[in-house]
Structure 1
Amino acid sequence: MVARIFIDGEAGTTGLQIRERLAGRRDLEVLSIAPDKRKDEDERRRLLNEADIAILCLPDEAAKESVRLIENDTTRVIDASSAHRVAAGWTYGFAEMAADQSDAIAASRYVANPGCWPQGLIASIRPLIEARLLPGDYPLSYHGISGYSGGGRQMIEDYEAQGTTASQFMPYSLAFQHKHLPEMQVYSGLNRAPLFEPVVGNFAQGMTNSVPLHLDMVAQMPSGKALHAALADHYAAIADSFVRVAPYQAGLGKDAALDPQTHNGTNTLTLHVFANDDAAQAVIVSIYDNLGKGAAGAAVQNLNIMLGVGAGESLEA
């Protein structure tokens, strides 16, 4: 049976990336809206209700409107906006987050695709809290740099127009009210929101994020090897996982693999653990493509899970 897929917002950055990944699939029929009807509510309603699965690549309020336009009880939804990530009735679409998360996604009608920034934090911290190596009330900081494509079409156009004069390194959200904070806290298992400092870099896509840890703040101080083992065990137990844990290398001063563009074009997320047990310090670094595992790749992975086909279909590892 061919599944009908409608990408509402297919002309946007994430929508185009999803459409590209789905090209050539014989098990899918991608329903497309005429360019001059993208804002036509009746046409969007028709396509949303014809689809077996609708993928919403829209601003938050427009995504909520699309859900309201669905009048049947059969169309399933993957929402790539941040509108429903902590909403009741929606399943969080980070398949590697927990052992049963893929099953929850497969059974759900409504799936909220994760944000790009939260995945690195959740992937790094949730397994450690579950393993009781970190307490839920740990005062966590989270820092990262992402390509400018994370800001959507307007930011892409702005950066590309500036050329060599564009800022190489621009911190933002310095009022500490980033819209991704709720999902970071809820799905990482933290009791308090992390202190989050994101940065935009002058490159198109890819991201590197880091979580620094003062291990002497933990009652039973874990070693770097213990942190690494907990992460490795968690992701080894997840079927069809795209999250990898790099080998533990004590005393490593730098690593070329930490380039934020390392996994561009793929759905891979790699975690690196660096630690100095004598100093009681560690940092967990996550590398992935903000448009891949951070957006379009995750949406296609969730689509595959919901359709019951191989999770890696149409995805590069």
Structure 2
Amino acid sequence: MTQTVFIDGAAGTTGLEIVERLQGRPEFELIVLDDSQRKDASARAEAFHAADFAVLCLPDEAAREAAALAEGSGVRIIDASSAYRTAGDWTYGFPELIGRDRIAAANRVSNPGCYPTGFLALVAPLVRKGLLPGDWPFVCHAVSGYSGGGKALIARFEADRTIAFRDYGLALGHKHVPEMQLYARLAHPPVFAPAVIPAHRGMVVEVPLHLHLMRQAAPADGLRDALADFYAGSPVVTVHPDAPDEILLRTDSVPSDKLGLWVFGSADGTQARLVARLDNLGKGASGAAVQNLNLMAGLPETAGLAL
């Protein structure tokens, strides 16, 4: 049975990549508005009411307006913005953490942020298992390709090839922090230090740890084993057993919906570095939305994904 999907904001970076992942799939039929209707509230409301599923690829306030337009319809929504990520009446769309059954049964799903995907994949299972303390003042360093910043940042980086590194979020209080704290079950908001590099896509998220200062903490090997056990059998998440000398992001990376995790430990056991690598447009955005859509539609979780 073919199910209909309306992507509100299909002309943006996330929307375009979702469309690519759905093309050629007979399970879905896209409801497409022409350019003159894309910002027309009546046309969008009509599309919501005609669709089985909708994916919101919009800024936060526009996503809230879109959800209001969908009220009274039977459409099931996936929101790629940060508008509803900590809302109690929306299901957080990280199936590996939240549970695939919960995603499959949900009517309103909020896609995780790209940086929080890496942070939570590393930290949340370890805090849950009592292998890291939930009251520790965690720090998260991360770099991302510029495509995560939307059209304006893409244009800036592609127009000015002299930019080598963009540090930002320097006033702290980044909008990703609340979901990082909530779903990792942390007593304190982590200090989050994001940056952008001159690559179109790709992301590395890192959490450094002073294991010897924590009142409860497993050794690095124990942290790695616990993550491997938690994600055992996952078609998307891989916990790497090796400890390479370097982890690279390349400027010519192709789309990927994978998420790779590593644990590095010092020789004396006092320190560790938890590292995640993902595609900010893949598992960090469009790939995650399609993964959630598959689950909600009762289809194989990885259908259409780049794995």
Give the TM-score normalised by structure 2.
Answer: 0.96
1:171-182 matches, cutoff 5 A: 171-182=167-178
Q: Give the counterpart of 2:103 among 89, 95, 105.
A: 105
1:143 maps to 2:131: no
Q: Which structure 1 segments of 5+ residues have no match?
A: none
- Aligned counterparts of 2:12 and 2:78: Cα–Cα separation in 1: 16
Which digits, 9 at most, give the CA deviation of each residue in 1:178-218, with x for residues without a partner?
11111010111211110000001011110111100000122
- 1:297 matched residue in structure 2: 287
- 2:51 matched residue in structure 1: 51
Identity of aligned pairs, percent? 47
Q: Which structure 2 segments of 5+ residues have no match?
A: none
- Aligned counterparts of 1:15 and 1:301: Cα–Cα separation in 2: 14
Matched position secondary structure for 1:35: coil
Amino acid at match of 1:208: V
CA contact (8 A) 2:133 2:216 kept: no
CA contact (8 A) 1:240 1:311 kept: no
- Aligned counterparts of 2:13 and 2:23: Cα–Cα separation in 1: 16
CA contact (8 A) 1:263 1:269 kept: no
Q: Give the counterpart of 1:217 among 205, 213, 217.
A: 213
Number of residue pairs matched by the alignment? 307
- Aligned counterparts of 1:151 and 1:82: Cα–Cα separation in 2: 13
Matched position secondary structure for 2:295: helix
- Aligned counterparts of 1:124 and 1:186: Cα–Cα separation in 2: 14
- 1:247 matched residue in structure 2: 241
Amino acid at match of 2:241: P
Q: For residue 71 of structure 1, report the CA deviation from its aligned partner.
A: 3.5
Amino acid at match of 1:151: G
* CA gap 1:103/1:263 in 2 versus in 1, 3 angstroms: farther
- 2:96 matched residue in structure 1: 96
Give the TM-score normalised by structure 1.
Answer: 0.93
Matched position secondary structure for 2:96: coil
Q: For residue 287 of structure 1, report the CA deviation from its aligned partner.
A: 0.3
- Aligned counterparts of 1:281 and 1:263: Cα–Cα separation in 2: 31
Which digits, 9 at most, give the CA deviation of each residue in 1:226-281, with x for residues without a partner?
11011111000xx54411100143xx5x22x4436697411100001100151500
Q: For residue 221 of structure 1, report the CA deviation from its aligned partner.
A: 4.1
- Aligned counterparts of 1:150 and 1:104: Cα–Cα separation in 2: 27
- 1:36 matched residue in structure 2: 36
